[in-house]
Amino acid sequence: MTAPTTHGATTHAGGNEHSHDQDHGHEHAHGHELPFWRKYIFSVDHKMIGLQYGLTALVFLLVGFSLMMLMRWQLAYPGRPLGWVGKLLGENAMPGGVMAPEFYNQLGAMHGTIMVFMGIVPLAVGAFGNYVVPLQIGAPDMAFPRLNMASYWAFLPGGLLMIYSFFMPGGAAQSGWTNYPPLSVLTQVPGQTMWLFAMVLLITSSLLGSINFIVTIVQLRAKGLGFWRLPFFVHAQFVTSFLLLLAFPPLEAAAVLQLMDRLAGTSFFLPTGLVVSGEQLKVAGGGSPLLWQHLFWFLAHPEVYVLILPAMGIVAEVIANNTRKPLWGYRLLVYSVIFLGFMSFVVWAHHMFMTGMGTTMSTFFQTTTMIISIPSVIILTCFLMSLYGGAIRFTTPMLFATAFLPMFAIGGLTGLPLGLTASDIYLHDTFYVIGHFHYVVAPGTIFALFAGIYYWYPKATGKQMDPTLGKIHFWLSFLCMNGIFMPMFFQGMAGLSRRLYDPTIYAHGRAIQSLNVVISWSAWGLFLAQLPFIWNFFSSLARARAVENPWSATTLEWAAPSPPPHGNFPTPPVVYREPYEYSVPGQTSDFHPQFAGEA
Amino acid sequence: MAEASPYAADALIPHTVEPHPVTGIPNGKLGIWLFLASEVMLFGALFSTYVVIRTTAPHWPPEGGLSSEILNVPLATVNTAVLITSSITMVLSWASLKMQNLPRFRLWLGSTIALAFVFLVIKYFEYTHKFELGHYPSHDNFYAVYFTLTGLHGVHVIGGIIVNTFLLTAGSRMWATEPERFTNRIENAGLYWHFVDLVWIFLFPSLYLL
């Protein structure tokens, strides 16, 4: 086949819709000839890459969750042997079936790393971004399909190396997911070095992806799709991509510097006169451990918004669709999300109030932290106002999306005391912090991601997921999530520190140990609550085909067949109106799609 | 052509060659500028690290003396000239394509690659001299900063050599089928190369002279 290059070139030189059409026909004719490994493994199709990201990320989420379930055993029943599981994990990790402290630290560090960098971000951005964004803007694919493939193939080895580090001598990284030096530099296990290598790969993957998203959204929108007609999900992904693009490189730099410290013996993060085990360390010194914290949080605070913005995008789509009315304050939402993006770059040091960086710095970062809560509240308020007066359909995605609102609100509001130094000095590094950010990310973001899976599953497969199993999944997850994270606020306010191997060594820990038992059983219950989801996810593939556009949605992805073929749209779609024209007076149906021409 | 296989999804994608009516540029050029933005953040973080380490040190360089005495200023000056010249030859290679002159393009892009190699060879001599004196990155933070920053810059130079060599050899077959797209690729590779050059323009005075 030699024709398409010139064919493609003339198409683009002409640039009109008609010749695009021919191109599509061309591709369809040859789409079946793709060998297995080009179609499913080294695919350049954004939908396949999105599914690859999604399935990989779901597996990693389960792995990260399993690590936490192990930790919860030690926290609920400190020092009690764990039967056959302990035997399975071997004498190094669980001597005599009892968890070793080093192993506990590995589980803690890797739980955070896996959940954030290998679970949520790839699912929220890699999977939903890849699958949905080109469809919602009416594009045939991402702007750079091979770059897209490279992005996945940087992510997967990064993730696998991270998992592999558990099997290296001495085990995986064990200095927390934040990898603070000097501890992280001085920990003499190769897994710690592997953490840095794997992070460089994961960061590279995100960078490639973010460039691709921005170019796609700017250059490849369908005819008539101006910025004020983009679905809110696309706006959220657009801002997220800028955060990834600009915030990740400093962490990449920091990872390289820490690699130098570990491998070449430099002292970027090692101060002068560091004494370890009674002996002065033989390094040049002169470095600054705080420098790592600044570089790390310069990434990791925008990263929080990388975790939450796509979730807000999904919730917006689901709420508009299931309330059957336009989103309340669409422009306000867009302005807020852009403002959030900007502000997220100037709040990072609120993670560092306890480092003694000075009151001037603290005042600045307290102020910016209070300011950044304003757009978050605006977004949440817009969502609540969208519910008001709607004809709400409580479908499975809508259950998750409505639950997102109070869960994210709890997570956000409990963050305010942490953003002010006076209260943060007491609450810092306690379980209160764990409760706070998990409310944002677990019942917040993960619920939104579940909403997205239920909502777009018919798009990707042509089948509907079972609603009864979906409701069971939702209600059990909702109960267990709150059973896990709500008691953590009380633990934190009682002064219980995070990262404690055995909370009962302190009297104040013993007094509230019963809460740890409640949390652990809720965590194991949460695992059981995911079984209906896993079953539903696979068994629904065997269900009868759903109708096209089963949710009666207005956005462009529903103009394509389900699942969309290579090239997505049979004819390039044209956009006639704003994204959420539901229940428009005078219309015969209660939705008026963006892509439907005037009658 | 490999590009023409049915796997190549970009046969479908608008604005790979003709500019977008609103932004006025094709996809690749927007992509390379975004990439450079992330590179600015990468080197920004590295330079910030340098600033923090240096301003908190009692003496700089920690072992005493002056940066300009420890590092080889004449060699670095030559290297600066080499890189700037290579940026000029890079532009000339693009201009040759604009004038439909493929042999001239080959000459200039080949010169760019050769000059990049000259830069690395000179850097090699600078590095080995330091190693002979026993001055490894672990010696003190002056050397840590010097080796890490110039090393990462060197990695970018190697990346440029790889990309340019591809465009000079296998990649240049695109000229026969899609001349405009190939010319754009050279322009984008040039933008990257000028950025690598620019980083050195910052590194040279801040490491060697100040």
pLDDT tens digits, residue range A274-318? 998 899 988 899 999 999 999 999 989 999 999 999 999 999 999
A266 touches chain B (CB under 8 A): yes
Mean pLDDT over all residues of chain A? Answer: 92
Residue of B1, B5, B12, B140 to mutate when probing chain A, most A C-beta within 10 A: B12
A291 to chain B, closest Cα gap in Å? 7
A230 touches chain B (CB under 8 A): no
Q: How confident is the model at residue A34 (pLDDT cuts 50, 70, 90)?
A: confident
* pLDDT number for residue B10: 60
Q: How confident is the model at residue A8 (pLDDT cuts 50, 70, 90)?
A: very low
Mean pLDDT over all residues of chain B? Answer: 93
Tokens of A343: 């502000």
Could B11 and A257 be called an inter-chain contact, meaning their C-beta atoms sit closer than 8 Å?
no
Residues 233-262 of A with CB under 8 A from B: 245-250, 252-254, 256-257, 260
Could B15 and A12 be called an inter-chain contact, meaning their C-beta atoms sit closer than 8 Å?
yes
* pLDDT number for residue A83: 85
Could B10 and A8 be called an inter-chain contact, meaning their C-beta atoms sit closer than 8 Å?
yes
Q: Pairing between strand A275-276 and A279-280?
A: antiparallel
Distance between CA A187 and CA A576 in Å, rounded?
60
Could B148 and A257 be called an inter-chain contact, meaning their C-beta atoms sit closer than 8 Å?
yes
Q: Taking Cα atoms as reference points, which of B192, B194, B206 lies closest to residue B49?
A: B206
Q: What percent of chain B is modeled with pLDDT above 90?
A: 91
**Which residue's structure tokens are 């702007």?**
A143
Which residues have CB under 8 Å from B204's CB, separation 6+? Answer: B76, B77, B79, B80
Report chain B residues whose CB lies below 8 A from the CB of A298. Answer: 45
Q: What percent of chain A is modeled with pLDDT above 90?
A: 85
The size of the A-B interface in CB pairs under 8 A is 190
**Is A196 domain-assigned?**
yes
What would the mean pLDDT of A421-431 be, rounded to a whole number? 95
Whether A20 shows a pLDDT value over 50: the answer reads no
A525 touches chain B (CB under 8 A): no
* pLDDT number for residue A52: 97
Residue B120, φ and ψ in degrees, nearest 5: -70, -35
Report chain A residues whose CB lies below 8 A from the CB of B144. Answer: 260, 264, 266-268, 284
Report cis status (omega within 30 of 0) of the bond before A182: yes
* pLDDT number for residue A599: 54
**Is A203 domain-assigned?**
yes
CA distances (Å), origin A213, targets A28, A132, A231, A536, B14: 25, 11, 15, 31, 15
Distance between CA A254 and CA A179 in Å, rounded?
11
Which residues have CB under 8 Å from B88's CB, separation 6+? Answer: none
B191 burial class (0-12, 13-18, 19+ CB within 10 angstroms)?
A: middle
**Is A501 domain-assigned?**
yes
**Is A571 domain-assigned?**
no
Report chain B residues whose CB lies below 8 A from the CB of A4. Answer: 4, 6, 8, 11
Whether B139 shows a pLDDT value over 90: the answer reads yes
Q: How confident is the model at residue A32 (pLDDT cuts 50, 70, 90)?
A: low
Report chain A residues whose CB lies below 8 A from the CB of B11. Answer: 4-5, 7-8, 11, 23, 26-27
Whether A559 shows a pLDDT value over 60: the answer reads yes
A226 touches chain B (CB under 8 A): no
Report chain B residues whose CB lies below 8 A from the CB of A37. Answer: none
pLDDT in tens, A321-373: 999 999 999 999 999 999 999 999 999 999 999 998 889 999 999 999 999 99
Q: How many helices (H) and strands (E) does chain B have?
A: 7, 0
Report chain B residues whose CB lies below 8 A from the CB of A6. Answer: 177
Within 13 A of B151's CA, how many CA atoms are on the CB side? 15
For B179, nearest residue in chain A (alpha carbons): A9
pLDDT in tens, A127-152: 999 999 999 999 999 999 999 999 99
**Is A277 domain-assigned?**
no
- Kind and range of the H or E run holding A276: strand A275-276
B205 to chain A, closest Cα gap in Å? 21
A310 within 8 A of A288, measured Cβ to Cβ:
no
Distance between CA A434 and CA A115 in Å, rounded?
14
Could B138 and A13 be called an inter-chain contact, meaning their C-beta atoms sit closer than 8 Å?
no
Distance between CA A545 and CA A547 in Å, rounded?
7
Domains recognised in chain B with CATH numbers? 23-209 (1.20.120.80)
B24 to chain A, closest Cα gap in Å? 10
Nearest to A12 among B9, B16, B53 (CB): B16
Asked casually if ipTM beats, i.e. exceeds, 0.90, the reply is yes
3-state helix, strand, coil in chain A (%, to 5): 70, 0, 25
A382 to chain B, closest Cα gap in Å? 31
B146 within 8 A of B72, measured Cβ to Cβ:
no
Domain span at residue A551? 40-271+284-559
Residue of B5, B22, B23, B38 to mutate when probing chain A, most A C-beta within 10 A: B38
Report chain A residues whose CB lies below 8 A from the CB of B14. Answer: 12, 15, 20, 139-140, 219-220
Please report, for the domain that includes residue A427, its CATH number: 1.20.210.10
A33 versus A168: the higher-pLDDT residue is: A168
Could B6 and A291 be called an inter-chain contact, meaning their C-beta atoms sit closer than 8 Å?
no
Q: Cβ–Cβ contacts within 10 Å for residue B80, how many? A: 18
A457 within 8 A of A464, measured Cβ to Cβ:
yes
**Is A20 domain-assigned?**
no
Residues 123-152 of A with CB under 8 A from B: 139-141, 143-147
A303 touches chain B (CB under 8 A): no
Could B38 and A145 be called an inter-chain contact, meaning their C-beta atoms sit closer than 8 Å?
no
Total domains present in chain A:
1
Whether B54 shows a pLDDT value over 50: the answer reads yes
What would the mean pLDDT of B126-153 be, rounded to a whole number? 96
Nearest to A5 among B4, B35, B49 (CB): B4
Report chain B residues whose CB lies below 8 A from the CB of A248. Answer: 38, 41
Residue of A1, A10, A11, A12 to mutate when probing chain B, most B C-beta within 10 A: A12
A121 to chain B, closest Cα gap in Å? 18
**Is A570 domain-assigned?**
no
* pLDDT number for residue B12: 81
Could A286 and B16 be called an inter-chain contact, meaning their C-beta atoms sit closer than 8 Å?
no
**Is A215 domain-assigned?**
yes
**What is the four-CA torsion angle of A493, A499, A505, A509, rounded to 10 degrees?**
20
pLDDT in tens, A363-415: 999 999 999 999 999 999 999 999 999 999 999 999 999 999 999 999 999 99
Could B52 and A288 be called an inter-chain contact, meaning their C-beta atoms sit closer than 8 Å?
yes
